[in-house]
């Protein structure tokens, strides 16, 4: 996670807003979100950055990511495993949910697995590439070692999704100013914890 520190920079929301609203820009948001929904693997890190932080500037932005499909998705989560037909049905529901909340990185990860379960590994790899792109965008905003250089997130859930993707165990969470501090189990890692900037969520 800390390999991104050399070129880290917090998101410039003013610049992002100007870019995603300019119709002649390749950062124009409707074009970017369409490419993401189509699992375009040619998106660049700057484009992922505009996708992720640009979503916080959309009218439909909700930091908690509730969708009309949540109840149905929870029924799937109760199962220990999915049959082929269940995986295909899950894919339909998950895609509908992502239409409402396209920055649900955790759901993307589960969707990639469902495509694998259904035998479509090509789509699994495409979704995995987009997850890596969004995670890289988040990691490009800081080093996480203090609040002043925290990783910027637009959803508290993304803190735990990101740590889970890196298989990092957590012990405790505290809020200090604009930052969540996630403490790791004592002496388990090189660093005692990581900071996430949640200032956009609090506005």
Per-residue pLDDT of 111-147, as tens digits, reads 999 999 899 999 999 999 999 999 999 999 999 999 9
Assigned domain for 178 exists: yes
In a domain, 162, yes or no: yes
Tens digit of each residue's pLDDT (9 = 90 or more) over 166-199: 999 999 999 989 999 999 999 999 999 999 999 9
Name the DSSP letter for residue 118: T
114 within a domain of the structure (yes/no): no
> What is the percent of the chain with per-residue pLDDT over 70, rounded to a whole number?
96
Q: No. of H helices and E strands in the chain? A: 9, 4
Q: Looking at the 3D structure of the chain, how many domains does it have?
A: 1
Whether 198 is in a domain gets the answer: yes
What domain range is 191 assigned to? 149-202
Model pLDDT for residues 47-99, shown as the tens digit of each residue: 999 999 999 999 999 888 889 999 999 999 988 888 888 999 999 999 999 99
Mean model confidence pLDDT for the chain: 93
Residue 197 lies in a domain: yes
User: Of 62, 48, 32, 18, nearest to 154 (Cα)?
Assistant: 62
């Amino acid at each position: 996670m800390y390999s991104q520190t050399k070129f880290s920079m917090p998101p410039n929301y003013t610049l992002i807003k100007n870019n995603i609203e300019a119709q002649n820009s390749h950062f124009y948001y409707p074009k970017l979100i369409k490419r993401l929904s189509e699992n375009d693997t040619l998106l660049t890190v700057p484009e992922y950055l505009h996708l992720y932080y640009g979503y916080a500037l959309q009218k439909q932005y909700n930091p908690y990511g509730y969708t009309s499909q949540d109840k149905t998705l929870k029924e799937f989560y109760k199962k220990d495993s999915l049959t082929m037909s269940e995986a295909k049905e899950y894919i339909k529901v998950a895609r509908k949910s992502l239409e409402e909340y396209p920055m649900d990185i955790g759901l993307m990860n589960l969707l990639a697995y469902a495509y694998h379960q259904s035998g479509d590994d090509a789509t699994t790899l495409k979704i995995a590439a987009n997850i890596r792109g969004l995670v890289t965008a988040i990691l490009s905003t800081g080093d996480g070692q203090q609040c002043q250089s925290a990783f910027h997130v637009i959803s508290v859930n993304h803190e735990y999704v990101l740590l889970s993707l890196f298989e990092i165990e957590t012990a405790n969470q505290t809020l200090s100013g604009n930052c969540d501090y996630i403490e790791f189990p004592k002496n388990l890692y090189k660093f005692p914890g990581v900071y996430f900037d949640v200032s956009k969520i609090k506005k």
